[in-house]
Amino acid sequence: MEELHNFKNEALALITEAKSKQELEDLKVKFLGRKGEVNKFLQNLTQLPPEEKKRFGQLLNQTKQALEQAIARKESSLVSQQETKLDWFDITRPGKKPPQGNLHLITQAIEEISTIFEKIGFIRVRYPEVEWDWYAFESLNMPKDHPARDEWETFFVDTQENKKWGKMVLTPHTSSGQIREMQRLKKPPIRMVNIAKCHRRQHDVTHTVMFHQFEGLVVDKNISIAHLKGTTDYFASQFYGPQRKTRLRPFNFKFTEPSFEIDINCPLCLGKGCRTCKSGWHELGGAGMVHPNVLKAVNIDPEKYSGFAFGWGVERSYLMKEDLKIDDLRTIYSNDLRFLKQF
Ligand code: PHE
């Protein structure tokens, strides 16, 4: 009985390891052929006492069946392997090129913007896209119910209010990242660029509900408007070309004082004024010197430190660069490959 068991196991192992049809055929003859091993066991059967005959006969039958099945299975797998091999080895066949994707145009723009600022020592960060009211507004010098908040057409998340931080919002601008970064580093020097998704309740040809902003923040000793202007000019020349520069136009934000809108000179007349731009300038985005109350909100002493900040839309900045004349900004997020493949 034991011998038969061992034979069965060894034979099955040899069958599964067979490398070719010929090898398998030889094994088949060796095990199941007329003078094969199975038949040899069968001859032994006659010499056994009747009570053992039955058990031995059953095991022999099982063994035979198991070997037959294993051989059949191996046969078909060798056949299919051979077929696919032939297929693969047609070296004259031209290769199949996998379709190649490309990064979304806004992802490309974000990478370019990060690189520009990283070159002058800004650290790229990315802060939450779902945020507390305190970070999005209150710490930025916009107390509850302040009318200035209206400009940020905010989405509120329908969830429980936090006792300390207030309601939960979808970040309406990246300025909350100023607060997060100052809290993270605790004290200056700070030089960050925060690029993240923003959401506002606006949806038309020039707005998508979701868009991106990049926010710059520098806080240190003796930081002045000259540093702000130097930085925005640097960005303009790097992102738009050597002849482009910015100008500051007085504006009002609660979290900066003084505040500005940053304009960039027209690519055609470079600021003189022409038929397309009229004034010579195009609006880029907001900026200003960090308001003392904002510094105080994160325990930075406004007597010792000062800073500047700016926050612009990525989509808007990018479209101005390429002069794409896209009629509907929503096309960018429509997932139409015919459009997206062009970038
Ligand atoms: N957060 C402002 C906006 O969304 C832009 C801004 C950023 C203004 C930083 C001043 C300083 O319009």
> Tens digits of per-residue pLDDT, 153-177?
999 999 999 999 999 999 999 999 9
Ligand 1 near 218 CB (within 6 A): no
Q: What is the pLDDT of residue 191?
A: 98
Number of H helices, E strands in the chain: 11, 9
Number of Cβ within 10 Å of residue 298's Cβ equals 18
- At residue 128, what is the residue type? P
Instruction: Say how many residues make up the chain.
Output: 343
**Pairing between strand 281-290 and 168-170?**
unpaired
Calculate the average pLDDT of the chain: 92
pLDDT of residue 45: 84
Q: How many angstroms is it from 282 CA to the middle of ligand 1?
A: 17
pLDDT of residue 82: 61
Question: From the CA of 252, how far away is ligand 1's center (Å)?
Answer: 10
Per-residue model confidence (pLDDT) at position 324: 72
* Residue partners of 188: CB distance under 8 A and separation at least 6: 219, 220, 221, 300, 305, 307
Residue 320 alpha carbon to ligand 1 centre in Å: 18
How far, in Å, from the CA of 61 to the mean position of ligand 1? 85
Residue 328's pLDDT is what? 85
Separation CA 93–CA 101 (nearest Å) = 24
C-beta 309 within 6 A of ligand 1: yes
* Residue among 28, 51, 53, 29 nearest 43 (CA): 53
d(CA 214, CA 258) in angstroms, rounded, equals 20
Nearest residue CA, atom 10 of ligand 1? 287
For the CA of 308, the closest atom of ligand 1 is: 11
**pLDDT above 70 coverage of the chain, percent:** 97
Which numbered atom of ligand 1 lies nearest the CA of 259? Answer: 10
Q: Is the CB of 173 under 6 A from ligand 1?
A: yes
CB 219 within 8 A of CB 306: yes
Strongest mean pLDDT among 15-19, 44-48, 170-174:
170-174
- Distance (Å, whole) CA 116 – CA 108: 13
Helices (H), the chain: 2-17, 21-32, 37-45, 50-88, 105-118, 133-136, 176-185, 225-240, 292-297, 314-322, 337-340
Atom of ligand 1 nearest to the CA of 172: 4
Cα separations in angstroms, 320 against 271, 317, 324: 15, 5, 7
pLDDT band at 343 (very low <50, low <70, confident <90, very high): confident
| H-helix or E-strand spanning residue 308 | strand 306-313
pLDDT, tens digit (0-9, with 9 covering 90-100), for 218-248: 999 999 999 999 999 999 999 999 999 999 9
Q: Is 172 in the pocket of ligand 1 (CB under 6 A)?
A: no
- The contacts of residue 138 (CB under 8 Å, 6+ apart) are 144, 166
What is the whole-number distance in angstroms between the Cα of residue 310 and the centre of ligand 1? 6
The pLDDT of residue 185 is 96
Rounded Cα distance, 210 and 171, in Å:
10
Of the candidates 246, 245, 250, 253, the one whose C-alpha atom is nearest the C-alpha of residue 261 is 250
pLDDT value at residue 323: 67
| pLDDT digit string, tens, across residues 110-123 | 999 999 999 999 99
Question: What values do phi and psi take at 260, rounded to 5?
Answer: -140, 160
**Sign of the CA dihedral with 328 first, then 341, 322, and 310 last:** positive
Find out whether the beta carbon of 256 lies less than 6 Å from any atom of ligand 1.
Answer: yes
- Measured from the Cβ of residue 95, the count of other Cβ atoms closer than 10 Å reads 5
Identify the pLDDT of residue 39: 92
Residue with the smallest CA separation from ligand 1 atom 9 is 310
Question: How far does Cα 160 stand from its chain's mean position?
Answer: 30
pTM of the model: 0.72
Mean pLDDT of 295-318: 96
Tell me the C-alpha to C-alpha distance, in Å, between residue 287 and each of 92, 128, 251, 311: 62, 21, 9, 6
Which two three-digit tokens encode residue 152? 């940020």
Contact call for residues 154 and 173 (beta carbons, < 8 A): no
Distance 39 CA to ligand 1 centre (A): 91
* Six-digit token string for 168: 């939960």
Span 72-103, pLDDT tens digits: 999 888 876 665 555 567 778 888 888 888 99
Give residue 148's pLDDT. Answer: 86
Q: Where residue 298 falls among pLDDT bands split at 50, 70, 90?
A: very high
